[in-house]
Chain A
């Protein structure tokens, strides 16, 4: 049972297992492995290539700017997914309900069943409402959703245009020249 104390117990158990897993494996490795170190083994791993310089170098701030922009837009796109699911269901419902209104005979029966199944999926059982009413409601829902995403996307685009016009997307916006000890290759980034 998920009582609060059992949740706490599970958490402690989980943490203990995690710590033990690392400790046991490291100790086991230490006991079992042969010990013959060499200069090559001590080198930085570079996929078999000879290493050039130290790995402790300063990364240019430009990478972070691009990464930050990427994350912003990536998260925005993540907001599209739940919207797309709801929008897809609404338009599907509109299509089915519309077809059910216009169909006759056995086809109508099949479509009505499909409509009921779709509504059931949304957590609604609609015995009372007619297919026509459902079609109208679902259609207004999908139009509202459409307008919503356009507003959302327009605001996003304003931000994008702002960032662009301010030059934050330009790759060469560097302060390398100002950094001390870099005079030897100061001209290189500007030429790029």
Chain B
């Protein structure tokens, strides 16, 4: 037994897992190299940005190697004895994260956030957080879920306060870490309840146990009501942790202060990378833990069937599914509305973007609710809804990156971050202004920009799912989009129509910064005109996610 065990372990680690984790290994090696390059005096002259850029590009190259045969050809397989899951969704989402990492490295160098002397601090934190997000994207075990979230969160707290000596930064970092610690504690409690009630920590096994539990029949039994209550509590607590990472209501309070206090570059990282990873993790949790496609023929007990059980005619965990759909749908509707309403009265650009981030968390949660609702009867439709989430997230990456990069560029040239100060930017810094306006209109979701297709796919998933919750979400989403027209277009109007201030001097950012803004903004338009490629990739990534 021992010889076979050791042999299996060696095969699993060296033959199966490590080759499929090359991007993560590259990130780790880059972190060590960044620190090591600062120790001997001879190496100290190397600008850390080159090491970071090489590392990020090699990691992205390794990932493209994984996706060589196309996303559809990737067979789902469990790595490291079931800790991680290697599948198309993991490859797609990590591809987004690593591409974003490359863009972040370039941006932070160009805007001067990562200096020649202290840049390694910023890059080490950035790479560490990305590593944690990669773990989140492939989590297959409650331990890697918690570990990934913590690995992504702890460097983020420090990143928020990376600019030393600024009171707002320090305040934001402290608020973020206190909120984050509380959310992590709550989520850990939920995780421990889940593990204790279902007797496993392996996500697919959790799903099987939940199916065996016959939640519907338990609900009818008064003596088992405690189990149902504890399960519901566990679900709520785990979702609290996810809502914090997504900045979804009612756990969004940290976002405006953190985004306003942190440098704009860090804001871009938090709003895009953190959110993408959290969305993928949420998709994994709901697709693996909530059982689907399990045909349990055992008839429900004839007598004393409760109302809940009577409603569910299909899966064994239908009440659990309905419960989670209700929770996520409510959170999505509230998040979206609150974010948009609060954004209306903002004067600071970073605060405005923070509330816009909250609103988009709401839009992004809607198709997830639809996916869970669809998974009962229509697994292909559910996978389609998940693909809508990924399409939206991919478009959102370019939109928010461009918006925050433009804010950083304007901060460096005009030294201001309030929207009034952006007046007449189109005349003094046309590239920045056009990029920012494209991002704003894209976030609003007008065709022919990439934001439109994400929103369309999300709304279509809602229509496909049907039912009272989805109709409610549909109405909320449409009303909110109309509402967001006001504040997005107000920014565009200030930039394009208002007169520039009298004393405006040289305002153009340097050529590399303009180039980066153009590179960030071009996909908004190009992917908006030809979205088929991205939509197909997102579809392949989510194929078979719900069985």
Q: Give residues in A with beta carbon < 8 Å to B.
A: 3-5, 93, 119, 122, 124-126, 128-129, 133-134, 136-138, 140-141, 144, 155, 158-159, 161-162, 165-166
**Contact between B2 and A138 (Cβ–Cβ < 8 Å)?**
yes
Q: Give residues in B with beta carbon < 8 Å to A.
A: 1-7, 10, 32, 35-36, 38-39, 197, 226-227, 229-230
Smallest CB separation, B192 vs chain A (Å): 11
How many angstroms between the C-alpha atoms of A133 and B32 in the bound complex? 38
Given contacts A4-B197, A158-B35, A162-B35, contact A137 B2 (CB under 8 A): yes
How many angstroms between the C-alpha atoms of A160 and B237 in the bound complex? 38
**Contact between A158 and B2 (Cβ–Cβ < 8 Å)?**
no
**Contact between A137 and B7 (Cβ–Cβ < 8 Å)?**
yes
How many angstroms between the C-alpha atoms of A161 and B43 in the bound complex? 14
**Contact between B10 and A128 (Cβ–Cβ < 8 Å)?**
no
Given contacts A3-B226, A158-B32, contact A129 B39 (CB under 8 A): no
How many angstroms between the C-alpha atoms of A29 and B230 in the bound complex? 41
Nearest residue, chain B, Cβ from A141: B6
How many angstroms between the C-alpha atoms of A124 and B3 in the bound complex? 11
How many angstroms between the C-alpha atoms of A133 and B2 in the bound complex? 9
Nearest residue, chain A, Cβ from B197: A4
**Contact between A133 and B1 (Cβ–Cβ < 8 Å)?**
no
Q: What are 14 inter-chain pairs, A to B, with CB distance below 8 A? A: A119-B2, A125-B1, A126-B1, A128-B1, A129-B4, A138-B2, A138-B6, A155-B32, A158-B35, A158-B36, A159-B35, A161-B39, A162-B36, A162-B39
**Contact between A129 and B6 (Cβ–Cβ < 8 Å)?**
no
Given contacts A5-B226, A140-B10, contact A133 B3 (CB under 8 A): yes
User: Other CB < 8 Å A-B pairs besides A3-B226, A137-B5, 17 of them?
Assistant: A4-B197, A5-B226, A93-B2, A119-B1, A122-B2, A126-B1, A129-B1, A133-B3, A134-B3, A138-B2, A138-B6, A144-B10, A158-B32, A158-B36, A161-B35, A161-B36, A162-B38
How many angstroms between the C-alpha atoms of A78 and B39 in the bound complex? 26
Nearest residue, chain A, Cβ from B7: A137
**Contact between B2 and A134 (Cβ–Cβ < 8 Å)?**
yes
**Contact between A124 and B1 (Cβ–Cβ < 8 Å)?**
yes
**Contact between A137 and B32 (Cβ–Cβ < 8 Å)?**
no
How many angstroms between the C-alpha atoms of A93 and B6 in the bound complex? 13
Nearest residue, chain B, Cβ from A165: B39
Q: Which residues of B contact A137 (CB under 8 A)?
A: 2-3, 5-7
How many angstroms between the C-alpha atoms of A26 and B147 in the bound complex? 43
Q: Which residues of B contact A122 (CB under 8 A)?
A: 2
Q: Which residues of A contact B39 (CB under 8 A)?
A: 158, 161-162, 165
Nearest residue, chain A, Cβ from B37: A162
Nearest residue, chain A, Cβ from B40: A165
**Contact between B2 and A126 (Cβ–Cβ < 8 Å)?**
yes
